[in-house]
A and B are shown apart, each in its own frame.
Chain A
Amino acid sequence: MKGNFRKRDSSTNSRKGGNPDNNYANGGSSNNQNNGSMLYENADTTKNFNDRQDYLLVNSIGSNVTVTVTSGVKYNGLLVSCNLESSNGIDVVLRFPKVVDAGVSNSVDDLARTLGETLLIHGEDVAELELKNIDLSLDEKWENSKLQEAKPSRANSEKEKVNNELNEGGKFRTDVDISRSGKEIKERKLEKWTPEEGTERFDINKGQALEDDSTAWDQFAVNEKKFGVKSTFDEHLYTTKINKDDPNYGKRLQEAERIAKEIESQGPSGNIHIAEDRGINIDDSGLDEEDLYSGVDRRGDELLAALKSNSKPNANKASRYVPPTLRQQPHNMDPAIISSSNSTNNENVAATTVTTTPAEAEATKEKASQKSPKNKKGLSSKEAQIEELKKFSEKFKVPYDMPKDMPEVLKRSNSTLKSNSSLPPKPISKTPSAKTVSPTAQTTVVKSESRKSTSNMSQGQPSAAHTTRSSTSSRRRNHGSFFGAKNPHTNDAKRAAFGKSFNMFIKSKEAHDEKQREHDASENMEPFFIEKPYFTAPTWLNTIEESYKTFFPDENTAIQEAQTRFQQRQMNSMGHGGPGMNPNMGMNMGGMMGFPMGGPSASPTPMMNGFAGGSMGMYMPFQPQPMFYHPSMPQMMPVMGNNGAEEGGGNISPQMPSGFMAAGPGAPMGAFGYPGGMPFQGMMGSGPSGMPASGSTIHSHGHGRNYHQNNHNGHRNNSTSGHK
């Protein structure tokens, strides 16, 4: 292979922290290769190219290379070493060089005579370096050979092996590390076990299932009666004796009693094993005994696990997260357990999914194996997704009606999977149906979601009749409509209550109304508070604390921005004439709703602080009636936020008093003096010195996604001048 040399710019790294713009320019110029087609590169790209080149060079050390020097002479030899740090090009050292091509002037023999055992070619002389047959699998090979060495070494000498281990730097090997050297295990067709005809006839209809008996039984009594087994356990075979002859025994007993009571009266302390040893029965229904005593919880992250500590560790799909609400779903539990705890009817459904004729089994096997890679790993997550999507589809209301031709399309799509792709991603979520093609998922759906998947159930029933075709037919599903012909039946009243009870705006309004009623008209100026719904701030990028200064442009751009703002103001006032402040109001509220507790202050009640700091507290001195956010506000928020300031004016809401922000006592009029119509980013863009304290506080409470977006939009607009 051939490579181009690029002079390594040693200053690349040091420039990393600098202004990206500068970096951009310098990165391009750092290429000393005057290749016309060379693209401008930034530092990262350069570094990546250099890394690759280094990798190739390192891997080709010891192999045959051909070097062309600037005089046109080509040398062939073993690459011994090369100097990557050379100031111009790559210095190359060849061992046993041969002249391949003498170039224009010299004869091969003359040149060959001058060659010694080693040839050093300076970087500036190297015109081309040809690396041939680089074996890039070398790393693997080395590891493999290492492994193979390790194997016989045990037989040869224990010591050597121990040394190897120590030399490997105490590399800790997990189970998978150890088994990896073994052969690859493929999925394969499992051979069905068939009861032998000739052997003892086992009564299929009597006493063969595990679930038909729920009466408790005394194993000791039964075994003694039937088999003469007598139990003879004595704890002193295992532990020490209590010295009851001790003179102080009575006193000690009392003391022990006291301590024991103390310990046992403690709570479960949140740890199931402590609780267990204290003899407290806490609800461990989410944990089976494998989780408790045998399996190692694979959810590695401590913090996440702590958050999930109350829920069942899903050791099965180790690293995958199953939402807490789904952990108790049957599909996350053991199928065997389900079948024994469910009714026999359900078990038959499950059992008959195992086809009985070999041919059929073959077919299903193939189907299964087609999906296998995904199924195997992501079974539970897939099902979790299905659940999520189902839940979402229940809740999700499309703001517009379904086109009239849609039902037809959906019906048609039932027959083929392909027609799915033509469907727009509309209310009927097709993902679940596509996913449930997996037989396993399908059966669990039958079991757990019988209420919702009525059509599914009706197809599942024949399979209970032990027909061999049933399992395939039940697998062939209505891909178009997950819920079949019937829409999911949901409890509308409940949902409505849900929507209301958890809507903080509605709730706040109710609370406020009530208070108002109590205090009568005389006190109707009472401030309006919105309670903060939850505490923990998500650690997304935009909730990380930043200095307010980072939101202000430096002086150079400030002037630019001012000009842009001027344009914007004009456009705003042209377009909507009216209150330019309203869009900003909306965006602020959007920020609050998305991240109610965000904000740089990180105080436990940032919103309240924000308002109070703004000396307003949602209290409207110029508007006698308190302000409410219309319940539809949440839905509007994203729209407004996304569209940014330019369009914001179009969303004027009648409930929003005009000039609210601007009229506030502490509202900044802006360092650049565009009162009234000044758009949001204008306020933010004002210079550090020009921002009144109260103004910044007001902004801090709205410090959410939208805020950032606007801010960035502003920058982008300013720098590119591409605003409309």
Chain B
Amino acid sequence: MSSTNNNFNTNNNSNTDLDLDWKTALNIPKKDTRPQTDDVLNTKGNTFEDFYLKRELLMGIFEAGFEKPSPIQEEAIPVAITGRDILARAKNGTGKTAAFVIPTLEKVKPKLNKIQALIMVPTRELALQTSQVVRTLGKHCGISCMVTTGGTNLRDDILRLNETVHVLVGTPGRVLDLASRKVADLSDCSLFIMDEADKMLSRDFKTIIEQILSFLPPTHQSLLFSATFPLTVKEFMVKHLHKPYEINLMEELTLKGITQYYAFVEERQKLHCLNTLFSKLQINQAIIFCNSTNRVELLAKKITDLGYSCYYSHARMKQQERNKVFHEFRQGKVRTLVCSDLLTRGIDIQAVNVVINFDFPKTAETYLHRIGRSGRFGHLGLAINLINWNDRFNLYKIEQELGTEIAAIPATIDKSLYVAEDDETVPVPFPIEQQSYHQQATPQQQLPPQQQFAIPPQQHHPQFMVPPPQHHQQQAYPPPQMPQQQGYPPQQEHFMAMPPGQPQPQF
């Protein structure tokens, strides 16, 4: 904490002239005006400045559109900065990622050319997304963040590790391979972070994790985050955590902003029902979950046949294709994503307001994470479950485990439950990228990624200009009041923390 203070003070002293207006010089994106729930608003009222973060980090935070810490950030950031182990649970989409990324960026020393933080996640897409958050928040910090997951070229990753890497984000299998060959040197990695910790500590991952831990220095700080803990992780806590500070901000499991319905259908009626939903709902972006890869592909094809743009993703696809799908959907290029449980956890797309369980999941935590893809950061969303005869007991079971009752779908669904009045402010992860598409000028590969964020705020939502006009009519969902764009702006980790009407933080 003291070093933080010094750092901050140093900045104050040396840049006195900039001090007054460093904030005004920031490129702060447009405020997300959608209503939010207590899940993210119920804070003690701290600001990010209260944490005495370094100036560069604060700049990254504000430029990302953050205004106020969410409850989990408020709890976790100060404790994490003091160096204590943390075991935290907070609901889906309430800012957990930033809650561990911010202290990470605060603690990593840019001048030390070593891997200083390791972030483990269960899926490759989540690794990409987490890395992107690190890079966005830390873009002024001079910290380099690398992703290493399976499915990508291993040689490239080995070469990348020749360069400076401060933060390594990855999936356990690849990280273990690199660490055990000493390609990734974790001997100075004093920060070990697990997102979706319950999954990471489930049996299939746990052995890998414990092996990776053996390459870390004996005294390291561990931060464990998840929205669900269906099983106790006591054993791991006792073995690997030192006096963990437990944070539990959940008195209920489900998000306040999400309205859940079921539609009890015959298996062969599902597509019909889905089509009806498409025509009646005002969908901004939708994620549809199926239980097998085969069904994912079939359903995606059906949806394109019905005249809606639709991508699909599952684990049996090539990683390049998976990345493409993930990236484009986050950018709002397509309206619908059909996927398996590969994208159930952690994926953050702010523009998603409807999640449809075309097939009902087996476990409560899967259900919870799936429906948590909508209603991100306290916003409103809809979760619709297509239930067949065989699913009904599972429905009761999951209702019981979650302590929530799912109602039958009404003939009409109140728009105020899930439709935002103004979608235009919903942020997307890579605003400049779309600008460049619009201009059709620069090949992406030549753009230095760090520069891509340095764009004026007024150019933030160019996706509304993207689509070729001749495709608009095909693309649009039936509700006529829907804007005719090709996609809607998704977004990055809760970049719009500010509820409408809330005053700007004081400085």
Chain A contact residues, CB within 8 Å of chain B: 150-151, 154-155, 158, 162, 165-166, 170, 172-176, 178-187, 190-193, 195-196, 199-200, 202, 204, 207-211, 213, 216-217, 219-220, 222-223, 226-243, 246, 249, 252-253, 255-257, 259-260, 262-264, 266, 271-279, 288-300, 302, 305, 313, 315-316, 318, 334-337, 339-341, 347-348, 350-354, 368, 372, 375-376, 379, 439-440, 443
Known: A219-B311, A335-B391. A204 touches B272 (CB 8 A): yes
A290 contacts B366, CB within 8 Å? yes
6 A–B contacts, CB within 8 A, in A order: A165-B248, A233-B327, A289-B293, A290-B340, A335-B391, A340-B295
A271 contacts B204, CB within 8 Å? yes
Contact of A240 among B146, B208, B301 (CB under 8 A): B146
A273 contacts B205, CB within 8 Å? yes
B248 contacts A253, CB within 8 Å? no
B144 contacts A246, CB within 8 Å? no
B163 at the A/B interface (Cβ < 8 Å)? Answer: yes
B462 at the A/B interface (Cβ < 8 Å)? Answer: no
Give the residues in chain B near A296, CB-CB below 8 Å: 198-199, 202, 228, 230-231, 363, 365
B467 contacts A242, CB within 8 Å? no
Give the residues in chain B near A183, CB-CB below 8 Å: 403, 405
Contact of B393 among A155, A200, A440 (CB under 8 A): A440
B 358-376 contacts with A by CB, 8 A: 359-366, 368-370
Q: Which residue of B lies closest to A238 (CB)?
A: B128
Cα–Cα distance between A341 and B298 once the two chains are bound (Å): 11
Q: Which residue of A lies closest to B387 (CB)?
A: A190
- What total of chain B residues lie within 8 Å of the partner, measured CB to CB? 162
Contact of A223 among B172, B304, B468 (CB under 8 A): B304
Cα–Cα distance between A238 and B433 once the two chains are bound (Å): 13
Contact of A353 among B147, B389, B444 (CB under 8 A): B389
B251 contacts A178, CB within 8 Å? yes
Cα–Cα distance between A190 and B391 once the two chains are bound (Å): 11
Q: Which residue of A lies closest to B475 (CB)?
A: A227
Cα–Cα distance between A384 and B30 once the two chains are bound (Å): 57
Give the residues in chain B near A305, CB-CB below 8 Å: 203
Contact of B122 among A223, A293, A315, A340 (CB under 8 A): A293
Give the residues in chain B near A178, CB-CB below 8 Å: 248, 250-253, 403
B1-9, B94-102, B341-349 - the one binding chain A: B341-349
Q: Which residue of B lies closest to A276 (CB)?
A: B150
Give the residues in chain A near B369, CB-CB below 8 Å: 294
A229 contacts B396, CB within 8 Å? no
Bits for B85-117, please: 1 = Cβ < 8 Å to A, else 0: 001000000000000000000000000000000
Cα–Cα distance between A341 and B471 once the two chains are bound (Å): 34
Give the residues in chain A near B267, CB-CB below 8 Å: 335-336, 339, 347, 350-351
Cα–Cα distance between A260 and B177 once the two chains are bound (Å): 9
Q: Which residue of A lies closest to B339 (CB)?
A: A289
B156 at the A/B interface (Cβ < 8 Å)? Answer: yes
A236 contacts B177, CB within 8 Å? no
Contact of A277 among B174, B314, B430, B444 (CB under 8 A): B174
B230 contacts A238, CB within 8 Å? no
B 178-237 contacts with A by CB, 8 A: 178, 181, 183, 198-199, 202-205, 207-208, 228-234, 237
Known: A165-B246, A277-B149. A210 touches B302 (CB 8 A): yes
Contact of A185 among B144, B294, B399, B408 (CB under 8 A): B399
Give the residues in chain A near B248, CB-CB below 8 Å: 165, 173, 178
B273 at the A/B interface (Cβ < 8 Å)? Answer: yes
Give the residues in chain B near A351, CB-CB below 8 Å: 266-268, 388-389
A239 contacts B403, CB within 8 Å? no
Q: Which residue of A lies closest to B127 (CB)?
A: A238
A256 contacts B159, CB within 8 Å? yes
Give the residues in chain A near B44, CB-CB below 8 Å: 158
Interchain residue pairs A-B with the least CB separation, the first 8: A182-B403, A277-B173, A277-B150, A179-B403, A335-B390, A256-B158, A227-B309, A191-B408
Give the residues in chain A near B198, CB-CB below 8 Å: 296
